[in-house]
Chains A and B, each alone.
Chain A
Amino acid sequence: MTAHSNVPRTPPRFSATFDPATLAEIRRAAATGIYDIRGGGTKRKVPHFDDLLFLGASMSRYPLEGYREKCGTEVVLGTRFAKKPITLKTPVTIAGMSFGALSAQAKEALGRGATTVGTSTTTGDGGMTPEERGQSQTLVYQYLPSRYGMNPVDLRKADAIEIVIGQGAKPGGGGMLLGQKISDRVAAMRNLPKGIDQRSACRHPDWTGPDDLEIKIEELRELTDWEKPIYVKVGASRPYYDIALAVKAGADVVVLDGMQGGTAATQDVFIENVGIPILAAIRPAVQALQDLGMHRKVQLIVSGGIRSGADVAKALALGADAVAIGTAALVALGDNDPQYEDEYQALGTTAGAYDDWHEGLDPAGITTQDPVLSARLDPVKAGHRLANYLSVMTLEAQTIARACGKSHVHNLEPEDLVALTVEAAAMAGVPLAGTSWIPGRTGGY
């Protein structure tokens, strides 16, 4: 014992700025000289649907009886120009995820689950596989800058076409499928040698800007005899203008993906720092549609961190027509499942945090092309889990809608919502709970 033993000591204290994760990243960068690439979406906390609450019915509004009084959930997409609009039984759709990033089994499971509950699924960068076309009653075919696998036969087989301009995880970014995920089949579908990195361009090869997009949309309509709804997907960054320009270019449906949206492989710095949360993007998008007299005529699908029926109901209340899910659908299939904890540990991570999807070593067999790993995913069982999950989300959204007295989930409105934080109140344009204050409601966007 020294003479100083009873002097209070300062416990070790981490810096909030240089926290352990930041320090680790600096060391990793210093050791490797290369940025970190990973899958998934934003991991840091950003204002989200959790910051909103529904008011429910009260004296001035009466609720609908659960189980007895009807609360509709169907949604029709593509009513503006397409001869064959799409009708879905639930407003929850499956977002575009590429074959290549995902195994064929995972794509098939997505199709099975979506079809069971009457919703759509979407191809991705890399083209359409027979498995997903076969198992998806309603399939949206993505038209991406890389045009990997793009061909008129599949285009005609699709139920809708989605022109991808950007993704919430990386607005302004292209893509990269690393060589280790390029199997013979993936290579053949993309007309590239096996084992090399496949870069996906960030701009379309044959058009730039909204005026060209209008002509591109006309071409796709002419190619398919004006039958199919044409979606335009953008990452959330300048939603008011992007949505207005997409409408002007002739879109039937606009898809708006917030920064929390997942990706198969992108630089962490991009995922965490570019784009805005979906909560902040919906109102400006809806405002653009309303200013053009197009709200509900051009349908709005939103995505980025949607996890539950509550999130669905909140997105719809803010003015969306439907939502899309990526990450949550993969989790329902079995991604990051604790049953593979030993294997996650061996990969230096833990169930729930595994995000090296680009490496193709997924123990759950979802984000891989390895034949042994991908065979672990039973498409029928996984599809069944997804169907269950989609049903729960739909029921939850209905539960909330009934509580707010709505006979259709589309009747939810911003007036049903309040915010828990000043930030969320400002972003969602709804009052801070217990007040009539909507911060920032003086100017436009």
Chain B
Amino acid sequence: MNAISPDITFDLADTALRELNAALHAATGESNARRWRVLNPNGRHAVAVGINAPLTVEIEGHVGYYCAGMNAEASVIIHGNAGVGLAENMMSGFVHVRGDASQAAGATGHGGLLVIDGNASARCGISMKGIDIVVKGSVGHMSAFMGQSGSLVVLGDAGEALGDSLYEAKLFVRGSVKSLGADCIEKEMRDEHKVLLAEKLKAAGLEGTVDVAAFKRYGSARQLYNFHVDNASAY
């Protein structure tokens, strides 16, 4: 590996995934080797997981499960679709999938921004803990299930049981919502929420292209925060 090269290319057709991930973990981001390219991912799982430096990684093709899992600081761009658990438990940085994402995109993420150009499947943002997720298409059922904090912005529609058992995550949906999950309610969109939404849209590169007034806000009714027998039927 040429450490001073500004462009490092890994072809997964003839290099083991383990070598790619180990090299990414060894990279500090302080050298010039900040721009990485990955060829022929061919749906491999666990591509570019656990990066811990401000690198930019462009993946040319589709990836399997858990791409960019636990990402910190890096920007990972997927020129294709992503499988289950894209950017799961992301801490910081930026993950951008140009196609669609499967289930549990951004699951349990603590921070950073995940942008999905296409649609996301079920449980997008499940148990999110601070991550921001912007989906340009629609999301499947049970999205933001048990979402703790962070925001989920959906330009399209949301499936059934949006925000079920929600804690403090903020949900913004422009299209229709098939149904709300337990303890999730529509909330007033005040100025502070419009500002927040505009910030997230800007970060996702959508500034000026989308009208924040077209969104509805959903959040927790906070009725299930402390167990009470009268709520038993909601569980």
Contact = CB atoms under 8 A, between A and B. Distances in A.
B167 A193 contact: yes
B21 A206 contact: no
Interface stretch (A91-99, A144-152, A236-244): A144-152
A196 B25 CA distance: 37
Given A212-B84, A223-B69, A205 B225 contact: no
A416 interface: no
Interface stretch (B43-51, B186-194, B207-215): B43-51
A207 B110 CA distance: 18
Interface in A209-232: 212, 215-216, 218-219, 222-226
Given A152-B91, A196-B226, A222-B50, A191 B110 contact: yes
A168 B71 CA distance: 33
A219 B46 contact: yes
Interface stretch (B32-40, B124-132, B195-203): B124-132
B104 A205 contact: yes
Contact of B127 (A195, A205, A224): A205
Contact of A192 (B17, B45, B168): B168
A146 B126 CA distance: 10
Given A32-B229, A152-B50, A206-B107, A191 B69 contact: no
A8 interface: no
A226 B229 CA distance: 47
Contacts of B89: 147, 150-152
Interface in B83-142: 84-85, 88-89, 91, 103-104, 107-108, 110, 123, 126-127, 129-130
A207 B84 contact: yes
B69 A219 contact: yes
A189 to B, nearest CB: 11
Given A206-B126, A225-B22, A219 B45 contact: yes
A3 interface: no
A75 B66 CA distance: 33
Contacts of B224: 197
Interface in A304-334: none
Given A179-B226, A223-B49, A147 B70 contact: no
A89 B77 CA distance: 47
B178 interface: no
A218 B18 CA distance: 10
B225 A197 contact: yes
Contact of A152 (B70, B103, B129): B70
Contacts of B219: none
Interface of A: 32-34, 146-147, 150-152, 155, 176, 178-179, 190-193, 195-197, 199, 201, 205-207, 212, 215-216, 218-219, 222-226
15 contacts: A33-B229, A34-B227, A152-B89, A191-B110, A191-B149, A192-B148, A193-B225, A205-B127, A206-B103, A207-B85, A218-B45, A218-B46, A222-B18, A223-B49, A224-B50
Given A150-B108, A205-B107, A216-B66, 15 more contacts: A151-B70, A152-B50, A178-B226, A192-B167, A192-B168, A199-B165, A205-B88, A205-B108, A205-B145, A212-B65, A218-B45, A222-B49, A223-B46, A223-B49, A223-B50
